[in-house]
Homo-oligomer: A and B are copies of this chain.
Amino acid sequence: MANSNALENLNPHVSVDCVVFGFDFGKLNVLLIERNMRFEGAEYHDLKLPGDLVRKDEDLDTAAARVLKELTGLDHIYLKQFSAIGSPTRLVRRSRDMEWLRSIGHPEEIVVTVAYYSLINIDQDKASRFILQSNARWCAVSELNELAFDHLSILQQALGVLRTDLMLKPIAYELLPKKFTLGQLQQLYEVILGSKLDKRNFRKKLANMPYIVRINEKQVDVSHKPARYFTFSRKGYLKTRKDSF
C-alpha cells in the first residue's frame, strides 16, 4: 500500500481536492487538514483541503475517495466532482506553499486539481460515524479567511455549487429527520445559505412546494406551542420536476 503512493506511481500533474461540508443545525462546517511546518525559521500551522496527487492506475472518482479516506479517515462518502482548476500560478503564489510541496517530495509547479464536494449531516447523535484522524478537523465555514494554496477559492466555489444545488435538488431532505418542523427546515436553509430568512416570506415560498406534506402529528414535550410535523414526498417532488420542463 505504502509503495502505491511512490512518486513513480503518481501522475505528477493531476491532483484531487475534497470539500466535505458537515452540516449541523448550528452552522456549516468544512473538513480541513492541519498543516504544521517550519519555514524561514518560523513555525506555521495553517489549514488545507484534503487532497493529493492521482495515481496513474486509478480514475478520478477513485482517487478522491482514496485520498479523503487516507487523510481524514472518512469512508463511504458520496463525492461529487464539481470543477477542474488549472491556473498556472495556483500553487506558486506563496513561497511557503512551494517549500511544503518540496518537503513532501512533490516538486511540480503545474498541477491541475479536480475538485469534489460532499454534504453530510454531522449532528451530534450521528457524530460517532465520523471519527477523524488526528490532524483532520471540522471548521466553521464562516470563520475561515485563509487556506493553503488556492483552497479558499476552491471552497468558495464549492459553496456556490452547494447553494445552487440546495435550490434545485432535494438535498435538504437528506439532512432532515423523516418528520420535521417548518422551523427546522428554515434553520437548514439559513445555515447553508449563511443568512437569516424572513419567516413570512419563507412560509409563502413553501406554499409553492407541494412535495412538503403536512402530517397529522405535532411535537410533544416542548415548552413552547407544539409545532406541526411535515414530511418530504419524493414522489411529489419528482412530479414537479417533470412538470417544470
> What is the interface of chain A, defined by CB distance below 8 A to chain B?
11-14, 54, 56-60, 63, 81, 83-88, 110, 112, 114, 166-168, 189, 205, 208, 241, 243-245
Contacts and interface: CB of A to CB of B under 8 A. Distances in A.
A120 B46 CA distance: 45
Contacts of A58: 88
A87 B112 contact: no
A7 to B, nearest CB: 14
29 contacts: A11-B13, A11-B110, A12-B13, A14-B14, A14-B86, A14-B112, A54-B86, A54-B112, A56-B88, A56-B110, A57-B88, A58-B88, A59-B88, A60-B85, A60-B86, A63-B86, A81-B83, A81-B84, A84-B84, A84-B114, A86-B114, A112-B112, A112-B114, A167-B244, A167-B245, A168-B244, A189-B245, A208-B243, A208-B244
Contacts of A83: 81
Q: How many copies does the complex hold?
A: 2
Interface of A is mostly: mixed
Contacts of A88: 56-59
B245 A112 contact: no
A63 B88 CA distance: 11
Nearest to A55: B88
Nearest to A57: B88
A243 B83 CA distance: 27
A190 B148 CA distance: 48
Contact of A205 (B57, B63, B84, B245): B245
Contacts of A11: 13, 110, 112
A58 B110 CA distance: 10
B112 A60 contact: yes
A16 B58 CA distance: 19
Contacts of A63: 86
Contacts of A54: 86, 112
A56 to B, nearest CB: 5
B87 A59 contact: yes
A110 B10 CA distance: 10
